[in-house]
């Protein structure tokens, strides 16, 4: 009787000890899964390829152990759902790309900001009914609105005309609603000017941009730290200076919404 009890005790003890390794093995598998999840979270990888690798690992290490297999599926699925917010920030076309490094991602996000700013300006111009007077252009530096100088100034002068204030009032309302830095640029044609106040087109273009900027800041209360006033004289033409029509196009005031 005593021998049978001892054999029964040894059998139970052997079974208990034989199950101990499963706990350690489960811990090891969990650590491996966690390691691969961390690798995924710190890199941009092909999700389908990632799933294939994990499936191969599960078949290799887990075999037919259904409980652990289901648990690992839940972990991966939950992680992918959390990481999905990152991909939703991109357009559908961008999300199809397999790899995006930091530089590419920054460029793509800036492109999206440029597109958004362009649509905002376009909608404003339509609502304010200023489309006929403003040329809208999208450049790498931002969205550019260009208006002929005749709206703002008398030829050879830098004081704002009364008719310009109505236009600037509308623009001030829009500028107050958007977050962008605004560069006000003065441009002239290549016809020389030589007066006491304006020895060259440099001075005239700068004075005009300052007049516009001061009105927006001092009269309309916009943040002065969001504005830059600059003048380029005759050196950035958008048309030929050989014709009256071309020179009229070159005499302009530009508003650049700088999108960083």
Give the pLDDT confidence score for residue 225 in this predicted structure.
97
Report residue 14's pLDDT band, with 50, 70 and 90 as the boundaries.
Answer: low
Question: 199-249 pLDDT, tens per residue?
Answer: 999 999 999 999 999 999 999 999 999 999 999 999 999 999 999 999 999
Q: Which residue has the higher pLDDT, 11 or 204?
A: 204
Q: Which residue has the higher pLDDT, 129 or 27?
A: 129
Q: In a 3-state reduction of DSSP, which class is residue 42?
A: coil
Cβ-based neighbour number of residue 78 at 10 Å = 11
Cα atoms in the Cβ-side hemisphere of radius 13 Å centred on 226:
19
Give the pLDDT confidence score for residue 65 in this predicted structure.
37
Q: Is 210 exposed, middle or buried (0-12, 13-18, 19+ CB in 10 A)?
A: middle
Give the pLDDT confidence score for residue 131 in this predicted structure.
75
Give the pLDDT confidence score for residue 223 in this predicted structure.
98
Q: In a 3-state reduction of DSSP, which class is residue 169?
A: helix
CATH topology of domain 103-258: 60s Ribosomal Protein L30; Chain: A; (3.30.1330)
Taking phi first (over 0 means left), then psi (-120 to 50 degrees means alpha), and beta for anything else, what does residue 120 get? alpha
Question: 83-133 pLDDT, tens per residue?
Answer: 444 445 555 555 555 556 788 888 888 889 999 999 999 999 999 988 787
Give the pLDDT confidence score for residue 40 in this predicted structure.
59
């Amino acid at each position: 009787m005593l021998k049978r009890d001892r054999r029964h005790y040894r059998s139970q003890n052997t079974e208990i000890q034989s199950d101990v390794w499963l706990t350690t093995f489960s811990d090891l598998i969990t650590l491996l899964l966690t390691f691969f999840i961390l690798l995924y979270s710190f890199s941009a990888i092909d999700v389908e390829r990632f799933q294939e690798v994990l499936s191969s690992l599960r078949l290799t290490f887990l075999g037919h152990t259904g409980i652990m297999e289901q648990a690992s599926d839940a972990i991966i699925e939950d992680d992918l759902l959390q990481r999905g917010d990152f991909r939703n920030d991109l357009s559908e076309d961008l999300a199809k790309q397999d790899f995006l490094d930091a530089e590419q991602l920054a460029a793509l996000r800036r492109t999206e900001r440029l597109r958004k700013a362009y649509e905002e300006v376009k909608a404003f111009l339509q609502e304010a009914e200023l489309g006929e007077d403003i040329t809208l252009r999208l450049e790498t530096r931002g969205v550019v609105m260009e208006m002929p100088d005749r709206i703002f100034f008398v030829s050879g002068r830098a004081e704002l005309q009364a008719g310009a204030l109505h236009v600037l009032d509308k623009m001030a309302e829009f500028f107050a609603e958007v977050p962008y830095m605004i560069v006000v640029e003065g441009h002239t044609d290549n016809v020389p000017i030589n007066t006491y106040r304006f020895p060259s087109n440099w001075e005239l273009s700068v004075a005009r941009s300052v007049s516009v900027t001061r009105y927006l800041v001092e009269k309309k209360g916009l943040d002065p730290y969001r504005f830059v006033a600059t003048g380029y004289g005759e050196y950035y033409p958008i048309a030929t200076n050989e014709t009256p029509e071309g020179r009229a196009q070159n005499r302009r005031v530009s508003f650049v919404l700088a999108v960083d």
